[in-house]
Structure 1
Amino acid sequence: MKAVVFSQPETVVVEQVADPRCEPGEVIVQVKRAGICGTDLHILRNEYLSNFPLIPGHEFVGVVVEVGREVLDVKPGDRVVVDPDLYCGHCFYCRNQQANHCLNWQGIGVTRDGGFAEYVTVPVRACYKLPETISDAQATFIEPLACVIHGLNRLRTHPADEVLIFGAGPIGLLLLQALQNSGAAKIVVVEKHANRRALASQLGAVAIAADENQTAALRELVPYGFSIVVDATGVPAVIEQALNYLRPRGQYLQFGVAATNATITWRPHDIFRNDWTILGSYSQCLTFSAAIKWLENNKIDVESLVSHTFPLTEFPDALQRFARGETLKVHLQIS
């Protein structure tokens, strides 16, 4: 089969590899569509948890073509989305409802081969059958949307919240819609790209350019600061100044993924003096079902976030265009 292979850091090839094999509790999925994520870039740059060589890809949808002998509730022909986070279920964190911190965690497309391939083997427990009303393009967003829902679960949201989001990439635009569904009174998005600001405006946000005038514009919109500030960029320079816009007793959510060695400077006294709550949001934690329900009931617009679709063979070019910020969400149409 054809697959994308990260053979070593900073090296990408599309090549023929051996077809996957199916163990007793596993299924083989023929991948239909897969999404490129910023985490894939971190993996390629050796800034994440992965080893090489690796077939990446953790956002994908497909059809089951083979099942192991112990598989009872999934059959060939079933259309499924795959949760890439594989939890052991018995460690300290799994037993305390913190499975995303599982001590024995494995990740499809992160620590084991993933969905940037014609076929992939996955444990049957990672498969979620899909309603016919959810398209392949929508289904490919279930994993990132599940991460957004986990982030939302970390926050205490209120109907009168005034929210500031840094970044209007695919994740920022999912966060925007998720917070709208939670009743935020006003959502402001700061973004440097005009086309992304336009889409944020279409989705109901007030969009502000990320430039030397942003502070004055934000102060005029919300003079006393925002009750929730979210970083969806992962850029240390953006993160470092984000608390400047947070009101006393506000909540800050770090959602964007920064490089593992990135550092910033915050003053502890400011956190103490302002009663701030600082939150992280890592991956997702059994929120696939909620993401499927939101899409099934048309609560989130995801298809407008897809700017480019490429065949699998053009992955290197697609990834480079994504890395340069020339795209919004990029999907691979695989079969």
Structure 2
Amino acid sequence: MRAMVLHKPQLLAVEELPLPQPSSSELLIRVTHSGICGTDQKIYTGAIPVQYPRVMGHEMIGRVVEDPAGNFAPGTRVIVDPVTFCGSCFHCLAGRTHLCPNGRLLGRDIDGGFAEFVVVPRRNVYVLPDNVPDHAAPVIQVLSTCLHAHRLASIFPGTSVVILGLGVTGLLHVQLAKARGAYPVIGVTRSAWKRKLARELGADLTFSPEEAIQGVREATEGRGADLVIESVGSIPTLAQAVELVRIAGHILVFGTITAREGSIPFYHWYFKELTILNARAAKGEDYSVAIDLVRRGVVQVEPLVTHRMKLSELSAALDLLAASESSALKIVLEHNG
């Protein structure tokens, strides 16, 4: 099978690999579309270490080719949960399958979806509804992680929520917060066109980072936000979250921060008696809900897909996402042809 193989940071090659064979508890999936994530970018640059060679990619949909158990008919269109787990350890038995120390993430710990075929556990596969188009369906994997994060936060009607960073995940957080009745929902980013898109998707207010402190204070009667979601994955943005949240408020750290040191206003952290939440990955229960939210139109994923490219153009797609002032949000790779 054809695959995009990473041999070291920023060195990708198109290669022919053996076709993987499913065990009795696995499915063979022909991958038709895959999305590029910030995690893929950090693996590509070496910020997240992996064992080489590695086939990246953990946002994928496709068609069932083979199911030894016969539960899925060939051709069934499915989305893959890339987080595997053992099912028998302390965390799995406590329902924290996404934190299983024996688990692995496709595309990071084992080969993933930037290939023609992938083998996955049967329990990690979910059937897609017909009204979700192929080019938008991979975003549901991203939505599942945002939904899992929202389960950790207390968001009720009238909760003021600030989302720092209006990339794909930030725009999904905007929509989820609105769906839960949050008000006001405030988006913060340097990008004017992303602020416009956030308002179209439901944000009540948007600000540039320079405008954020005054804007958030005015919108919350001087208190600061009840909840700030850090959706960039940087130390400076986390520091800004501490400034924007109210006393006794909550910060949800959603972005993956790989920096080992940085400047944080720790005294404000202490003085405000903040609750810091951290979210990682998603669980199976998040997929069925995420799929339903998209099926019913509660969350829109199609506006987030700005570019569709070929699998062989992966290097160019990663460079496009990394470019300053990039016009790209979600790039979906089409594997056919």
Q: What is the identity, as a one-letter code, of the residue corresponding to 1:313?
A: S
Distance in structure 2 (CA, Å) of the matches to 1:220 and 1:108 = 44
Q: How far is the alpha carbon of 1:275 from its aligned partner?
A: 3.2
Q: Describe the superposition over 1:63-97 as per-residue Cα deviations: whole angstroms up to 9, x where unpaired.
A: 011223xx231121111111000011111111112
Q: How far is the alpha carbon of 1:216 from its aligned partner?
A: 2.6
1:79 aligns to 2:77 (yes or no): yes
1:119 aligns to 2:109 (yes or no): no
Q: Describe the superposition over 1:214-251 as per-residue Cα deviations: whole angstroms up to 9, x where unpaired.
A: 33333333321110111100111111121111112211
Alignment of 1:239-250 (within 5 A): 239-250=238-249
1:67 aligns to 2:57 (yes or no): no
Distance in structure 1 (CA, Å) of the matches to 2:302 and 2:67 = 31
Q: How far is the alpha carbon of 1:163 from its aligned partner?
A: 0.9
Distance in structure 1 (CA, Å) of the matches to 2:323 and 2:126 = 33
Q: Describe the superposition over 1:185-208 as per-residue Cα deviations: whole angstroms up to 9, x where unpaired.
A: 111111011111110111121111
225-234 vs 98-107, which deviates more? 98-107
Q: Describe the superposition over 1:258-308 as per-residue Cα deviations: whole angstroms up to 9, x where unpaired.
A: 1152444342x5344423211001111221111111112111011001110
Distance in structure 2 (CA, Å) of the matches to 1:18 and 1:328 = 33
Q: What is the identity, as a one-letter code, of the residue corresponding to 2:36?
A: I
Distance in structure 2 (CA, Å) of the matches to 1:314 and 1:38 = 17
Distance in structure 1 (CA, Å) of the matches to 2:260 and 2:72 = 42
Distance in structure 1 (CA, Å) of the matches to 2:268 and 2:236 = 18
Q: Secondary structure at the match of 1:93?
A: helix
Q: What is the identity, as a one-letter code, of the residue corresponding to 1:114?
A: G
Distance in structure 1 (CA, Å) of the matches to 2:9 and 2:261 = 19
1:294 maps to 293
Q: TM-score, normalised by structure 2?
A: 0.93
Alignment of 1:175-194 (within 5 A): 175-194=173-192
CA RMSD of aligned residues (A): 1.6
Q: Secondary structure at the match of 1:106?
A: coil
1:46 maps to 46
Contact 1:30 1:119 survives alignment (8 Å): yes
Q: What is the identity, as a one-letter code, of the residue corresponding to 1:13?
A: A
Contact 1:310 1:333 survives alignment (8 Å): yes
Q: TM-score, normalised by structure 1?
A: 0.94
Alignment of 1:1-335 (within 5 A): 1-48=1-48, 50-68=50-68, 71-205=69-203, 206-211=205-210, 213-222=211-220, 223-259=222-258, 261-267=260-266, 269-286=267-284, 287-325=286-324, 326=326, 327-335=328-336
Contact 1:49 1:111 survives alignment (8 Å): no
Q: What is the identity, as a one-letter code, of the residue corresponding to 2:329?
A: L
Q: Describe the superposition over 1:111-164 as per-residue Cα deviations: whole angstroms up to 9, x where unpaired.
A: 111111111111222111122222213321121111001000000112111111
Q: Secondary structure at the match of 1:100?
A: helix
Distance in structure 2 (CA, Å) of the matches to 1:39 and 1:55 = 13
Q: How many residues in Structure 1 have an aligned counterpart in Structure 2?
A: 331
Distance in structure 1 (CA, Å) of the matches to 2:322 and 2:133 = 26
Q: Secondary structure at the match of 1:135?
A: coil
Q: Describe the superposition over 1:24-58 as per-residue Cα deviations: whole angstroms up to 9, x where unpaired.
A: 22221111111000000121233336311111111
Q: Describe the superposition over 1:11-30 as per-residue Cα deviations: whole angstroms up to 9, x where unpaired.
A: 22223323222222222111
Q: Secondary structure at the match of 2:90?
A: coil
Q: What is the identity, as a one-letter code, of the residue corresponding to 1:248?
A: I
Q: 1:105 to 1:20 in 2, by over 3 A?
A: same
Q: Secondary structure at the match of 1:224?
A: coil
Q: How far is the alpha carbon of 1:174 from its aligned partner?
A: 0.3
Contact 1:2 1:17 survives alignment (8 Å): yes
Distance in structure 2 (CA, Å) of the matches to 1:218 and 1:249 = 16
Distance in structure 2 (CA, Å) of the matches to 1:12 and 1:260 = 24
Distance in structure 2 (CA, Å) of the matches to 1:257 and 1:231 = 9
Q: What is the identity, as a one-letter code, of the residue corresponding to 1:261?
A: R
Contact 2:56 2:107 survives alignment (8 Å): yes
